[in-house]
């Protein structure tokens, strides 16, 4: 099976996997209402379809646009039809089952649970690394799932009241997910989880300090200064420890090539959603020196290549939109948020997780396989959930003001 046939097969599997999103047909009124507050998402989807007009491979662009549309509808359906508690329980069970079964498979010595990765393409040295992939399609997919399992388990432990038995069980799940994550050797996912965990710890300290603004400011400042100092002082040693170099195993060279030879030719509109990496006319400038790169290895540059600065601007607007809303909630008194505390902690940590991963990989959309479709569904879910809550709050305020007048 050649690359084109394999890619088409993956798209068919993705469509089957996201087929429950077809239930949106029975909830069209709710979906239409979401346009009022999540219009940037719909604008991005429309742009992906329109980009087929200037794509080198229009059919691929249309196929992947359909896939990302279905995945997005899936996320919107979850946010508008089901409660947060229902969704998070479903996700938690899925994450735990995949993580524990993968951990058991590796311990049982199953050959299919391991993935031999050739590091020569990245380091120039003929070395191979044995990475865990468990019951998933690859080590990247397992890295995503175990990272999310770690975040969910730690969020439950820090912010939800649990008895001793449940805490022990959560501790075991947390240890299993961390061990499996390390076994994947997926450095980007490991660092992203650490960043998300720091966010959770800061929020917990924020709750413990209650109303003391001075102590809160001092704590956040100390943590930021500490992280900056460690990053500056131990930058090179840490990279070497993680098996990386100052170019992030060739990534910075790839980014420079994309900016100078690819993006500079079509900076406004890009090359069409999902088509550039399938062998467009300009792809030769990348494939000659970076034959290992099937993506930009940076979600932001990847989107710039495919949808131009217009698509990148729309997506960054979405990120600033949801980040601003989360920060507003974080700086309020978390002790008085009751049931919303888990929404804020999980969505915030997940957002940091996916933003961090996309500094060295491209997982924002389902334009590439290996489990990134799950991350896009969750991103759309979190985005719709947070933005819709803020939209409804503003509407209630408008109604109250009208009634008073």
Position 261 scores a pLDDT of 83
Which are the contacts of 358, defined by CB distance < 8 A and separation ≥ 6? 298, 299, 300, 364
- As a whole number of angstroms, the distance between CA 359 and CA 78 comes to 27
Tell me if 120 sits within 8 A of 126, measured CB to CB: yes
- The total number of residues written for the chain in this structure: 405
| pLDDT surpassing 90 at residue 105 | yes
- As a whole number of angstroms, the distance between CA 348 and CA 196 comes to 8
- As a whole number of angstroms, the distance between CA 155 and CA 159 comes to 6
**Closest C-alpha among 75, 193, 85, 92 to residue 144:** 193
Range ranked top by mean pLDDT from 66-80, 330-344, 358-372: 66-80
* Bridge partners (DSSP) listed for residue 129: 117
- As a whole number of angstroms, the distance between CA 385 and CA 350 comes to 13
H or E segment and range at residue 130: strand 128-132
- As a whole number of angstroms, the distance between CA 155 and CA 200 comes to 7
Task: Let me know if 243 is exposed, middle or buried by CB neighbors in 10 A (0-12, 13-18, 19+).
Answer: middle
pLDDT grade for 227, boundaries at 50, 70 and 90: low
pLDDT grade for 152, boundaries at 50, 70 and 90: very high
pLDDT grade for 241, boundaries at 50, 70 and 90: low
- As a whole number of angstroms, the distance between CA 89 and CA 155 comes to 13
Tell me if 330 sits within 8 A of 348, measured CB to CB: yes
Rg of the chain over all Cα atoms, to the nearest angstrom: 22
| pLDDT surpassing 90 at residue 36 | no
- As a whole number of angstroms, the distance between CA 248 and CA 361 comes to 11
Range ranked top by mean pLDDT from 9-18, 71-80, 225-234: 71-80
pLDDT grade for 404, boundaries at 50, 70 and 90: very low
Tell me if 57 sits within 8 A of 279, measured CB to CB: yes
Which are the contacts of 176, defined by CB distance < 8 A and separation ≥ 6? 99, 100, 103
Axis-axis angle for helices 58-81, 372-404 (nearest 10): 50
H or E segment and range at residue 241: helix 235-241
Tell me if 321 sits within 8 A of 387, measured CB to CB: yes
Q: How many CB atoms lie within 10 A of CB 119?
A: 15
- Least trusted range by pLDDT, from 261-265, 324-328, 336-340: 336-340
Average pLDDT over residues 194-217: 72
pLDDT grade for 26, boundaries at 50, 70 and 90: low
DSSP state of 245: -
**How many Å separate Cα 57 from the centre of its chain?**
26
**How many Å separate Cα 304 from the centre of its chain?**
17
Buried b (16+ CB within 10 A) or exposed e, 18-37: beebeebeeeeeebeebeeb
Percent of the chain past pLDDT 70, that is, above it, reads 68
pLDDT grade for 214, boundaries at 50, 70 and 90: low
Tell me if 264 sits within 8 A of 329, measured CB to CB: no
| pLDDT surpassing 60 at residue 131 | yes
């Amino acid at each position: 099976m050649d690359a084109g046939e394999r890619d088409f097969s993956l798209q068919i599997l993705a469509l089957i996997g996201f087929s429950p999103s077809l239930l949106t047909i029975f909830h069209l009124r709710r979906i239409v209402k979401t346009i009022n507050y999540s219009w940037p998402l719909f604008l991005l989807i429309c742009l992906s379809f329109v980009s087929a007009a200037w794509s080198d491979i229009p059919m691929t662009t249309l196929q992947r646009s359909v896939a990302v549309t279905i995945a997005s509808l899936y996320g919107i359906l979850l946010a508008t039809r089901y409660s947060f508690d229902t969704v998070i329980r479903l996700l938690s069970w899925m994450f735990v089952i995949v993580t524990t079964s993968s951990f058991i498979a590796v311990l049982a010595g199953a050959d299919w649970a391991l993935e031999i990765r050739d590091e020569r393409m990245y380091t120039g040295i003929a070395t191979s690394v044995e990475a865990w992939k468990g019951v998933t399609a690859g080590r990247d997919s397992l890295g995503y799932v175990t990272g999310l399992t770690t975040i969910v388990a730690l969020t439950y432990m820090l912010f939800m009241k649990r008895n001793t038995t449940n805490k022990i069980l959560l501790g075991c799940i947390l240890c299993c997910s961390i061990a499996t994550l390390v076994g994947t050797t997926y450095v980007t996912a490991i660092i992203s989880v650490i960043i998300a965990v720091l966010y959770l710890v800061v929020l917990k300290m924020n709750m413990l300090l209650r109303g003391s603004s001075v102590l809160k400011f001092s704590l956040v400042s100390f943590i930021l200064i500490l992280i900056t100092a460690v990053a500056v002082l131990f930058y090179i040693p840490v990279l070497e420890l993680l098996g990386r170099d100052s170019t992030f195993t060739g990534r910075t060279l790839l980014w420079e090539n994309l900016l100078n030879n690819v993006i500079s030719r079509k900076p406004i509109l890009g090359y069409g959603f999902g088509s550039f990496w399938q062998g467009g006319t300009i792809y030769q400038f990348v494939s000659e020196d970076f034959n290992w790169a099937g993506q930009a290895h940076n979600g932001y540059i990847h989107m710039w290549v495919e949808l131009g600065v217009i698509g990148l601007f729309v997506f960054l607007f979405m990120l600033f939109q949801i980040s601003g809303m989360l920060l507003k909630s974080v700086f309020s008194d978390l002790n008085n948020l009751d049931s919303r505390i888990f929404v804020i902690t999980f969505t915030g940590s997940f957002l940091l997780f996916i933003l961090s991963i996309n500094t060295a990989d491209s997982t924002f959309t389902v334009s590439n396989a290996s489990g990134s479709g799950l991350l896009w569904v969750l991103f759309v879910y979190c985005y719709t959930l947070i933005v819709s809550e803020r939209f409804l709050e503003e509407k209630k305020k408008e109604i109250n003001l009208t009634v008073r007048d």
